[in-house]
Amino acid sequence: MVKPSVLVTRRWPAAVEQKLAHDFDVELNRSDRPLTPSELRAAFLKYDAVLPTVTDRIGAEALDVPKAQTKILANYGVGYSHIDLDTARRHGMAVTNTPDVLSECTADLAMTLMLMVARRAGEGERELRDGLWDGWCPTHLVGTKVSGKVLGIVGFGRIGQEMARRAHSGFGMKIVVFNRSPVAPEVLERFEAVQVESLDALLPQCDFVSLHCPGGPETRKLINSRRLDLMKEDAFLINTARGEVVDEAALAQSLMFETIGGAALDVFEREPAIHPMLEQCTRNLVMLPHLGSATREARQAMGFRVLDNLHDFFEGKQPRDRVA
């Protein structure tokens, strides 16, 4: 039987690349740089499957090719707001993602960010490495206690729930949830969480707000200057979801004028570029380079999950993670 042809747009963990190469007729992007829109268009004319990541902009410009050969876009990652689902559907392409396998690691990183910004760990490390530390002192780099505080979780899917688990059971935090659909009572009970009806109702109650909603047009700039003004003046915003969910200029202003306590970001609207106003915020802003799922375990599991979806698809079954 002829093996389906597959293009992988970035380098993946070696064990997954080997299995892919065994099971499919694979073309690897050995240069490991994001493909240009014209390279993507050429790929849709040539390969049965394209395996993109968040660094590939798969909008109508790339997808609108006559006589596309590609039948499935099996995304390496849970978020898929970089793929235009409607256009993919129009071209008869299935789209899958990789949920579950990265939820714990992404929640671990959100906790890391929350602790870093509250306890001023980034500032402390920079100071020490710059040779500026002159010893212990009662008023030096005094931060904010995390344990027992109120955590608002925006988006209560798998990652949001893993965040709640850590914050509630490890840190005794009180959990308030905003989710676009009602959360099952037994799920809320697990974390003694309360669901509120609107984001505007959540923001003024929280000491920390952690974003776990999908990206895309519906959540674009969900956190804007009006909503930042609803936060307590000593509250912290954590974003491990998608950069576009936050109005970055508005956030930078809130940080500069200290109308909120601080922010910690793992994702940005125009990665790898950082908004110039955010770059100027040093004291109360922690930034990481999109590391949410960056563990050996999660990245390997994501790859094998893509493989499962491909096998299902080419064996004529419904892929378990089909989103379009």
Residues known to be catalytic: 242, 271, 290
Calculate the dihedral angle through the C-alpha atoms of 112, 217, 182, 102, rounding to the nearest 10 degrees.
Answer: -40
Query: What is the smallest separation between the CB atom of 117 and ligand DGY, expressed in angstroms?
Result: 20
For 131, residues 6+ apart whose C-beta sits below 8 A from its C-beta are none
Of the pair 105, 310, the CB lying nearest ligand DGY is at 105
Binding piece for ligand DGY, criterion CB under 6 A, among 64-72, 76-84, 135-143, 162-170: 76-84
Q: Which of residues 285-324 bind ligand DGY (CB under 6 A)?
A: 292-293
Of the pair 240, 284, the CB lying nearest ligand DGY is at 240
Alpha carbon distance 161, 99 (integer Å): 13
Contact assessment for residue 277 and residue 307, using Cβ atoms and an 8 Å cutoff: no
Tokens representing 156 are 């209560």
Query: What is the smallest separation between the CB atom of 113 and ligand DGY, expressed in angstroms?
Result: 14
Alpha carbon distance 223, 215 (integer Å): 12
Largest separation between any pair of C-alpha atoms in the chain: 72
Neighbours of 156 (CB within 10 A): 26
Q: Which of residues 39-68 bind ligand DGY (CB under 6 A)?
A: 53-54
Binding piece for ligand DGY, criterion CB under 6 A, among 24-32, 77-85, 158-166, 171-179: 77-85
Of the pair 4, 52, the CB lying nearest ligand DGY is at 52
The 3 state secondary structure assigned to 130-162 is CCCCCCCCCCCCCCCCCCCCEEEEECCCHHHHH
Q: Does 160 bind ligand DGY (CB under 6 A)?
A: no
x/- binding map, residues 80-119, to ligand DGY, per CB under 6 A? ----------------------x-----------------
Residue 57 — φ and ψ, nearest 5°?
Answer: -90, 100
Binding piece for ligand DGY, criterion CB under 6 A, among 25-33, 71-79, 115-123, 272-280: 71-79
Of the pair 102, 188, the CB lying nearest ligand DGY is at 102
Alpha carbon distance 97, 78 (integer Å): 5
Task: Write the DSSP symbol of residue 152.
Answer: E
Query: What is the smallest separation between the CB atom of 176 and ligand DGY, expressed in angstroms?
Result: 24
Q: Does 78 bind ligand DGY (CB under 6 A)?
A: yes
* Segment (H or E) for 154: strand 150-154
Binding piece for ligand DGY, criterion CB under 6 A, among 64-72, 73-81, 160-168, 179-187: 73-81
With H, G, I as helix, E, B as strand and everything else as coil, classify residue 37: helix
Please report, as ranges, the residues that interact with ligand DGY according to CB under 6 A. Answer: 53-54, 77-79, 102, 292-293
